[in-house]
Amino acid sequence: MAETREQWHSRTAFIMAAVGSAVGLGNVWRFPYVAYSSGGGAFLIPYFVALFTAGIPMLILEMGLGQRMQKGIPLAFGSVRKPLQWFGWWAAGLSAGIVIYYSTILAWAWVYLWHSFKLSWGDQPQTFFIENVLHRSSGPGEIGWPVLSLVIGMALTWLTIYLILRKGVRSVSKVVMITVPLPMLLLAVLLVRGLTLDGAMDGIRYYLTPDFSKLWDLSIWLKAYGQIFFSLSLASGVMIGYGSYLGKKAEITNSAFITGLANCGTSFFAGFVVFSMLGYLAKIQGLPISEVAEGGSGLAFVTFPTAISQLPALNVLFGAIFFITLLTLGIDSAFALQEAFTTGFNDKWRIPAEKLARYFVLIAFPISLIFVTRGGFYWFDIVDKWICDFGLVISGLIQCIAVGYLYRVGEFRDYLNSQSEVRLGRWWIWALRYVTPVILLIILTGNIRTEITERYSDYPRWATLIGGWGVLLFWLVLGYVLYKRPAKANRT
Ligand code: PHE
């Protein structure tokens, strides 16, 4: 007896979940940094061009494919062409890979939330992060034991994910009503604090002063596309999985526009929070902003703690707010990734949500402990680099080609138009067939060329072979096994 597929409570729940997956740490620690180092305000031009020529078209493709096939990425692509199911499992495997290392950042954030009550990083936040939190060893070859406090942070992260996913889409529908608006509200609180600090305006000026000469630089454009791709959680199967829980009559195009714009709006907004704080920090330290501005983990776990300690009042409160923001920003990206992977197992073998959530967490948690060992930081960095710079780019490329050339894309467009009040023009097909694949191909060749000519972060070759190419290959093999395993016909 075939049951109907689980569905979102409402269209709002779906959009919230999609926005929740898109809005993550990337909006806070990647976008502002990329923007300021790539032409400031002028970066908004390539960024929005990338949003409309690749980001939103791909979002429509992914949400639409999931909704139409009523399946997660493996079987959705399997319905386009049978062997593409193999690709689908591989891409879903990348999601599993991402959530396993993404959880590390959440583990750090839990530990920092704890420390924020005593502002334990003192006046040496850099040393504190590396020595007291990470206990970082000298390189990827020196792994050592997992660090206890981070193991606890990791356990909390996986427990949260399990509790949220245990009841499938039903619980996700409720949870995202909190985990999506909350960090936005907290960012607004931090913004008000930031803007009223001395030096804030210098920071904002630094963030947004346009340098139009940068627009002639191809690499800036590629950065914009890369950032859009990562930020909208594309090519990982997340949006396909989420789309698959929509009803048969659901509207796609407009939802994709709302999701894309909400995500990019949040990034732009987060830039004000980050740069007002950086402006303040530069002012009180008497340094130029370029010396305090950085992105990535350094921004969240070194620069921000420094600024928080130096606030005139309520430091503990703002410290806690900041780390709760990080946690709530990250958690919905994390469970979306896990869901993108596990939904394939429900589609194919009818395994119930609770069981999937439990098994996944029980396997993923021990694996994720590698990233909280003393050498874990390096492995985190390698896996992140390879999955994002090679895995997701290849996956996006295959998706565009599969749908643009192997699927009746004109008829797919008519289908989407019949469901929506917003009509998709031919531009959508051009974006999928030409613009996006060409850009992804340029990005991919560039990344491969850099990898051949210069060793990433001077890591030994064996480490990038295992943590980089090895992980991608692992999923290729496991993906094949999952593809070949016969499906179960009925739900039990
Ligand atoms: N979009 C998320 C962010 O900006 C990251 C992410 C990538 C989440 C891919 C899911 C899939 O942080």
pLDDT (tens digit per residue) in 243-256: 999 999 999 999 99
What's the CA-to-centroid distance between 124 and ligand 1, angstroms?
A: 30
pLDDT at 362 over 50: yes
pLDDT tens track for 413-427: 999 999 999 999 999
**What share of residues in the chain are helix, strand, coil (percent, to 5)?**
80, 0, 20
By three-state DSSP, how is residue 196 classified? coil
Q: How confident is the model at residue 490 (pLDDT cuts 50, 70, 90)?
A: low
| For ligand 1, mutation pick of 176, 187, 233, 325 (most atoms within 8 Å of CB) | 233
What's the CA-to-centroid distance between 95 and ligand 1, angstroms?
A: 10
Q: Tell me 454's DSSP state.
A: S
Mean pLDDT of 37-42: 89
pLDDT at 492 over 50: no
* pLDDT in the model for residue 3: 60
> Is there an atom of ligand 1 within 6 Å of 24 CB?
yes
* pLDDT in the model for residue 491: 47
CA distance 329 to 332: 7
Whose Cα sits closest to atom 9 in ligand 1?
233
What's the CA-to-centroid distance between 93 and ligand 1, angstroms?
A: 15
Q: How far is CA 87 from CA 79, 335, 480, 483, in A?
A: 12, 22, 8, 9
Whose Cα sits closest to atom 11 in ligand 1?
233
pLDDT tens track for 211-252: 999 999 988 998 899 899 999 999 999 999 999 999 999 999
> Is there an atom of ligand 1 within 6 Å of 233 CB?
yes
pLDDT tens track for 380-422: 999 999 999 999 999 999 999 999 999 999 999 999 999 999 9
**Does the global pTM surpass 0.85?**
yes
pLDDT at 116 over 60: yes
Of 364 and 123, the one with more pLDDT: 364
pLDDT at 110 over 80: yes
14-18, 71-75, 277-281, range with the lowest pLDDT: 277-281
> Is there an atom of ligand 1 within 6 Å of 396 CB?
no
* pLDDT in the model for residue 309: 86
22 Cα nearest atom in ligand 1 = 1
CA distance 355 to 352: 6
Which residue has 């190419």 as its token pair? 469
* pLDDT in the model for residue 29: 87
* pLDDT in the model for residue 291: 86
With a pLDDT cut of 90, the percent of the chain lying above it is 83
Minimal CA–CA distance to 192: which of 125, 273, 129, 263?
273
CA distance 294 to 310: 18
Taking residue 55's Cβ as centre, other Cβ atoms within 10 Å add up to: 30
| For ligand 1, mutation pick of 104, 187, 230 (most atoms within 8 Å of CB) | 230
> Is there an atom of ligand 1 within 6 Å of 25 CB?
yes
What distance, in Å, lies between the first and last C-alpha atoms of the chain?
9
How much is the mean pLDDT over the chain?
93
What's the CA-to-centroid distance between 24 and ligand 1, angstroms?
A: 6
> Is there an atom of ligand 1 within 6 Å of 230 CB?
yes
pLDDT tens track for 453-486: 988 888 999 999 999 999 999 999 999 999 999 9
> Is there an atom of ligand 1 within 6 Å of 27 CB?
yes
> Is there an atom of ligand 1 within 6 Å of 236 CB?
yes
329 Cα nearest atom in ligand 1 = 12
Residue 236, burial from CB neighbour count under 10 angstroms (0-12, 13-18, 19+): buried
> Is there an atom of ligand 1 within 6 Å of 34 CB?
no
* pLDDT in the model for residue 1: 40
Minimal CA–CA distance to 97: which of 383, 456, 405, 461?
383
> Is there an atom of ligand 1 within 6 Å of 70 CB?
no
